[in-house]
Structure 1
Amino acid sequence: MSATPTRRLIAILVLAPVLATLALWAFAWPAARTAPHDLPLGVAGPPAATAQLEKQLERREGAFEIHHYAGEAAARDAVEDRTVYGAVVVTPQGPELLTASAAGPAVAPFLQQTVTRQAAAEGTQVRTVDVVATPASDPRGAAFSAAVLPLALAGIAAGVVVTVLGLRGVRAVTALLGASALVGVAAAGIAHSWLGVLTGDWWTEAAVLGLSTLAVSGAVAGLAALVGTAGMGIAGGVVMLLGNPFSGATSAPRMLPEPAGAIGQWLPPGAGTTLLRSVSYFDGAAATGPALTLAWWAALGLGAVLLGSALRARKAGSEPAAEGRDLATVG
């Protein structure tokens, strides 16, 4: 057996379990450690009435980030503005829990279970109000969560195809922009018009879906333009092994173990998920941060595509000149 096939065999035997272990860690670890981590939660009512409630919540060290509000109206506004995931309002009739199931499928049930358990220990009942509910066609948010992986795959596929076909410079950028725009329109047509999973402005949702795809495809094609075909694997691996499981699509970023939740929001799948929730269910509240994150990914990716093309053209132009000087020297 020659040395080259032997090295390839060893590489396969080493890489296969390493990749499998990495994938299992990336997907299973956040799922197994799903719990609140400084989850923003509002508390509203007279200070004397809310003091005991706050003490009970603070017993779960590091679970909640308490925000104080004067009354139910202010707490409701905070939920709708995505400042908090929910709020407990202390009223003369008993505690009232404001939730937003559209903010994350795992958060509202957790808050309801936690607050109800505490109230039951005190012999009271909790009235729950879903301020921003998921659509009736997707009550548990499962269809919304399922849309993250296809978008990431579409972005990776677009970047790979552009690279494999040898498109460079402006042509590559045009192809990436066009493909991402079409993906956004198609995805909005399915998720909004057909399934009824999204309920916001149709064109805004299509733009967000397209920008999410462009952020991934630009990263894949851009890194490939700078470092070669290995760049496709690197960018695609980051998106699939970190971006998707750390996105918080099936729960919420603050329900993931740190630093997974923070890392996920800096990657296209996580930023795209958060932005899509904002424009579809919350009238664009808290959309600036994730929108800028996606815009930076898209801009850097397309810039890398143009830079890689320019460097390649410069290198190709310098080679004939060098050959000409060599021939002149020989002559």
Structure 2
Amino acid sequence: MPSPSAPRPAPPPARGIVLIAVLVPVIAALALWAFAWPAARLAPRDLPVGVAGPAAATAPLERSLAARGGAFEVHRYAGEAAAREAIENREVYGAVVVSAGGPELLTASAASPAVAQLLREAVAGQAPPGTEVRVTDVVAAPPSDPRGAALGASLLPLSLAGVATGVLVWRFGLRGPYAPAALLAAAALAGAVAAALGHGWLGVLTGDWWAEAGTLALAVLAVGSAVAGLAALLGPAGIGLGALTVVLLGNPFSGAASAPELLPEPAGALGQWLPPGAAGTALRSVAYFDGHGAAGPVLVLALWSAFGLAALALGRRRGAPGPDGTARARSPLPAA
């Protein structure tokens, strides 16, 4: 009988060839589905928009929007001021104000340049021939990132930083208070560096620096603690599960490059419950909308962080597999 410390025999070459030949196409198909499917099916789905003005004047527009097969979720406002406030509070992406001077479209390209363009096209198509629709960008995207590309692209590096943090915590076998301390320190520094780059150098973040740094740090902590916690419970399989969930599903389902309401279901809704989607929504809120709409996604990130730290503690007590594949000794429970 081989000793527990003896190296495991290598799998037969034929078995390895079959596994590679089967797994690689499956992974490629899954990646294409996760990244290409949402991008190929972009369309408004219950997209919150506002309509403001006298009821008699706005009724035809409301009926027209409501008739577009659930594309828009129409909110009614008394006037332009109320519609502007709703946009600034991230209750709607835009609003059409109908007055004696003609229709005016209020947008918020900072919330989603893709949605702002979609609303311009939709409202222009509904207007009578020869009618000019005035457009006002209530909360404009920063001039250095008018299409929101830089903000959307920032989620993948944050996700990778979080995954790397979790892997390193597990790989170095940190136990007791050292693992949470390492996660918190790495997340805080990563958030500060990312905020410095995005706010100071690139100029794509224009809100309160501390709020941006805190949001970015919480995003890294959510991913890092989840990966470290899953690794503490499941070993290397936990790292794979965490990385696939965050990178393969979380990033393409985040809606950061467009909007969650433009993604096919259930991708749009699911993405907001994963760290990248929650981080993207929270970052837009603190960077461009004075924190309005950030409470929900920040809570999601906090829940992921709490889950990861709890799993980390539970895995340590259960003696989960360590980096060498052997079970770690259970941590002694504190004396009563």
TM-score (norm 1): 0.93
CA deviation after TM superposition for structure 1 residue 146, in Å: 1.0
CA deviation after TM superposition for structure 1 residue 36, in Å: 0.4
Matching residue's letter, 2:304: W
2:181 to 161, 174, 182: 174
CA deviation after TM superposition for structure 1 residue 171, in Å: 1.0
CA deviation after TM superposition for structure 1 residue 290, in Å: 0.4
1:220 aligns with 227
TM-score (norm 2): 0.91
Work out whether residues 169 and 310 of structure 1, in 8 Å CA contact, stay in contact via their aligned partners in 2. no
CA deviation after TM superposition for structure 1 residue 151, in Å: 0.3
The RMSD of aligned alpha carbons is 1.5
Task: Give the direction of change, closer, same or farther, for the CA distance of 1:21–1:317 in structure 2 (3 Å limit).
Answer: closer
1:75 match: secondary structure: helix
Deviations for 1:235-278, whole angstroms, at most 9, x for unmatched residues? 10011111000001100111111110000000000000000011
- 4+ residue segments displaced more than 4 Å: none
2:264 match: secondary structure: coil
2:6 aligns with none
2:22 match: secondary structure: helix
Whole-Å Cα distance in 1 between the matches of residues 137 and 330 of structure 2?
64
1:279 aligns with 286
Task: Give the direction of change, closer, same or farther, for the CA distance of 1:317–1:137 in structure 2 (3 Å limit).
Answer: closer
2:264 aligned with 1:251 = no
Deviations for 1:282-308, whole angstroms, at most 9, x for unmatched residues? 001011110100000001101111111
2:102 aligned with 1:94 = yes
2:91 to 49, 72, 83: 83
Whole-Å Cα distance in 2 between the matches of residues 220 and 182 of structure 1?
18
Runs of 5+ unmatched residues, structure 2: 1-9, 321-326, 332-336
Task: Give the direction of change, closer, same or farther, for the CA distance of 1:43–1:155 in structure 2 (3 Å limit).
Answer: same
1:160 to 162, 167, 171: 167
Work out whether residues 152 and 239 of structure 1, in 8 Å CA contact, stay in contact via their aligned partners in 2. yes
Whole-Å Cα distance in 2 between the matches of residues 244 and 228 of structure 1?
24
1:309 to 308, 316, 325: 316
1:12 to 13, 20, 24: 20
1:26 aligns with 34
Deviates more, 1:270-279 or 1:158-167: 158-167
CA deviation after TM superposition for structure 1 residue 168, in Å: 2.3
2:275 aligns with 268
CA deviation after TM superposition for structure 1 residue 142, in Å: 1.1
Runs of 5+ unmatched residues, structure 1: 319-331
1:292 to 288, 299, 303: 299
1:325 aligns with none
CA deviation after TM superposition for structure 1 residue 317, in Å: 5.7
Whole-Å Cα distance in 1 between the matches of residues 107 and 176 of structure 2?
48
Task: Give the direction of change, closer, same or farther, for the CA distance of 1:317–1:87 in structure 2 (3 Å limit).
Answer: closer
Whole-Å Cα distance in 2 between the matches of residues 193 and 103 of structure 1?
21
Whole-Å Cα distance in 1 between the matches of residues 47 and 204 of structure 2?
25
Whole-Å Cα distance in 1 between the matches of residues 28 and 100 of structure 2?
55
Deviations for 1:48-94, whole angstroms, at most 9, x for unmatched residues? 10111112212311100000000000010000000001000001111
Work out whether residues 97 and 128 of structure 1, in 8 Å CA contact, stay in contact via their aligned partners in 2. yes
CA deviation after TM superposition for structure 1 residue 186, in Å: 0.4
2:79 aligned with 1:71 = yes
Work out whether residues 316 and 328 of structure 2, in 8 Å CA contact, stay in contact via their aligned partners in 1. no
1:89 match: secondary structure: strand
CA deviation after TM superposition for structure 1 residue 8, in Å: 1.8
Number of aligned pairs? 316
Task: Give the direction of change, closer, same or farther, for the CA distance of 1:63–1:301 in structure 2 (3 Å limit).
Answer: same
1:323 aligns with none
Whole-Å Cα distance in 2 between the matches of residues 317 and 111 of structure 1?
58
Work out whether residues 115 and 259 of structure 2, in 8 Å CA contact, stay in contact via their aligned partners in 1. yes
Matching residue's letter, 2:329: A
Whole-Å Cα distance in 2 between the matches of residues 98 and 82 of structure 1?
13
Whole-Å Cα distance in 2 between the matches of residues 63 and 180 of structure 1?
38
2:216 aligns with 209
Matching residue's letter, 2:185: G
* Greater helix content: 1
Matching residue's letter, 1:226: L
